[in-house]
Amino acid sequence: MNNLYGAWQARVQRGVMVLLTTLALSGVAVAAPSRTVLVLGDSLSAAYGLAANQGWVALTAQKMRTTHPKWRVVNASISGETTAGGAARIAAELKRTRPAVVVVELGANDGLRGLSLQQTRANLDRIVGASTRSGARVLMVGMRMPPNFGPTYTQGFEKNYVDLSKRYKTAFLPFLLAPIAAERKNFQADNMHPVAAAQPRLRDHVWPALQPLLK
């Protein structure tokens, strides 16, 4: 049975190769391999509390299938991820996906835990630096902390994103939740994670910053 299956598989593979060769020789265009957008984020990009296809990343991928069909999206976001986790994973993700564009959406969990601004900056620097050195274009997506964290921390937190974006000359979106942050109805019971109905607004907020990178 295994021999029969192996022979059948070999015939199929030969047939595919013959078809591709014939198309190429006849001048018919053969679709190029997909180029990749890698999203490295936390629960805000991992569709926490929702079906995976309801999140803004999946909605962006769906949009790109129409507007940029040679591109694909790989969502490497993990709920609860910190910048330290992203920094530890970035080399392997770059090797695995070989992205042309990297979207970095990390830092919210650092802030909520009151972690050192200097350490958060160093971790983001590692992520963006590695992505840039790999040849990928980078979109840095910023986050903001509530005012009860105090002006020194909240302003320093935002400044990390601004400074690193300038240093590496990345595309920059200052605040992911900007279009929905003012209305409680846009969030789940935890008042932190957006509901499904708010996800298209996040997609549309990110898109103008992402689209120019899809060259």
Active site residue 204: no
Contact indicator for 74, 110 with CB cutoff of 8 Å: no
Say whether 140 sits in a helix, a strand or coil: strand
Among 42, 131, 193, 205, the active-site one is 193
Please state, in angstroms and rounded to a whole number, the distance separating the CA atoms of residues 63 and 213.
Answer: 15
Active site residue 131: no
Among 42, 43, 45, 110, the active-site one is 43
Say whether 41 sits in a helix, a strand or coil: strand
Please state, in angstroms and rounded to a whole number, the distance separating the CA atoms of residues 207 and 210.
Answer: 5
Angle at CA of residue 21, ends 73 and 95, nearest 5°: 30
Active site residue 79: no
Catalytic residues: 43, 190, 193
